[in-house]
Chain A
């Protein structure tokens, strides 16, 4: 019976995500048309010949109604055709795929830091509310939430790469290259810089929801049963507090994606974030459009996953 409730929720939630993605795709499609200038020349660059423009115009169906143009584009996208990069003269999807390994690994390692730092210290802070430990942790968390990621990154480079020489300061060769997993050391400093503000956020959130849950009536019920205080904390307070944290993960992710763009630039990592910045500077619009599309898709998918996990953990959750 329960599984049915969950399945039904999962289907509705997935449907909602699909609708959002479709709507977002309209905006992303419109993006090219909002850029001042003839869309064919926006996509082909100023050096394009009239013949090339003619060909692309035909492919995009520019002489047809805008709705038809959208569906033409959407069908191409669904077939994996995101257009061709002006700068690389290669399919956009291939170029994005080249950056995917770096960006996904960076995000993954960062999330590990965020969870390993944010949640335990947040818990500690809450259980020692008002003590020096709590005040230090909360103060630092607030400070780090106000520190630009790239500033942390630059100082990490200065200290660990330039002065101490322990770690590389920039670039990232794939783990499939020589040295294999050892190449992950290139991502250590970037992931720490990126983790700093996000771990701070999760720390504050964990602390706040632990304190909130600790005041709830059902915690008093648990105490009344005569179970150990640590069991009250783990089984009742922590489990419920974690729900709020899990629910907020999707939202942390949005911040993380934004900051990853900057972090990849600071550390010159060959990821999707740096790709989008460079493409903007190069006016490589097809790549910009493609990256936005892929990131939004990824973001919505992960958010969907987070919501499903949340619903699985918390039976009360319903769609708005």
Chain B
């Protein structure tokens, strides 16, 4: 309970961050309850009711196939969460071990971190596109491709934070104590990584939304039959003058989600140990 309240403090202090948290919870609930709360089947077409403006029956209007935009936006939240979770999971599962091992075993670490730096020589979307070309299109591959991009930043942050912790631990305990690697990792490095990585996770989640939307929009992400926000934008692009509201809702959802995640990340960063704040100031973004 104490732990929980200590995490809630920054949100209670900044009302805007609290709004971010509430919006996020809303998005998660919408995704989980999608089948229950959507008024229509997101895939059901209605040739007669195409491109309807928002009205009582269809709050967000209908698209060029007569599909209900509201229902599709709600189902889009599912994919957004899936992508976000997948990317964060992949980036953490790969980046954190790379960072920690590199600190614990400097010889291997030098090589690993050089490789990470090398990957950073490729601009993010270009790296993701290259991977898509190799792996092929699809949701899983989009997650992998974006995940690899954030693997690099996550490994970098883990590395710099862990390096700092290692130095501090040695100063405190003294090298003579023969601080062993296992003790160092489990007692000092890993527990102290939790907070900075939580902050990093919320930023990665936000950027994953934007990255996935870009891939979808380019036609290189989720298959077109899946109602994702990016796909919806790509499809409605042709109807921009006839049905501008079609652009609004999915785009607004992307902004709302990413913005909320940024707010939450900022709030979490403010409660973070000031030693780690600098590391996370810029490096969270590739």
Contact = CB atoms under 8 A, between A and B. Distances in A.
Interface of A: 20-21, 23-24, 27, 31, 34-36, 139, 142-143, 145-151, 154-155, 157-158, 162, 201, 205, 208, 248, 251, 253-255, 257-259, 261-262, 265-266, 276-277, 280-281, 285, 288, 292, 295-296, 299-300
A269 B162 CA distance: 45
B237 A154 contact: yes
Given A20-B121, A142-B262, A300-B121, A158 B247 contact: yes
Contacts, number: 133
Contacts of A266: 217, 237
Contact of B259 (A146, A257, A296): A146
A162 B241 contact: yes
B32 interface: no
Contacts of A36: 134
B251 A148 contact: yes
Interface string B209-240: 01001100111100000000000010001001
Given A148-B213, A162-B240, A261-B125, 18 more contacts: A24-B121, A24-B122, A35-B134, A36-B134, A154-B233, A158-B240, A158-B247, A162-B241, A201-B285, A251-B285, A254-B124, A255-B285, A258-B125, A261-B129, A262-B125, A280-B132, A280-B220, A288-B130
A148 B210 contact: yes
Contacts of A23: 118, 121
A250 to B, nearest CB: 11
Contacts of B130: 31, 288, 292
Nearest to A288: B133
A300 B118 CA distance: 11
A233 to B, nearest CB: 22
Nearest to B282: A248
Contacts of B261: 146
Contacts of B117: 20
A55 B16 CA distance: 64
A288 B244 CA distance: 33
A151 B118 CA distance: 31
Given A146-B210, A148-B214, A154-B237, A34 B134 contact: yes
Nearest to A151: B251
B255 A258 contact: no
B191 interface: no
B282 A20 contact: no
B269 to A, nearest CB: 12
A104 B13 CA distance: 45
B47 interface: no
Contacts of A149: 214
A285 B263 CA distance: 40
B121 A157 contact: no
Contacts of A162: 240-241
B153 to A, nearest CB: 11
A276 B129 contact: yes
B48 to A, nearest CB: 26
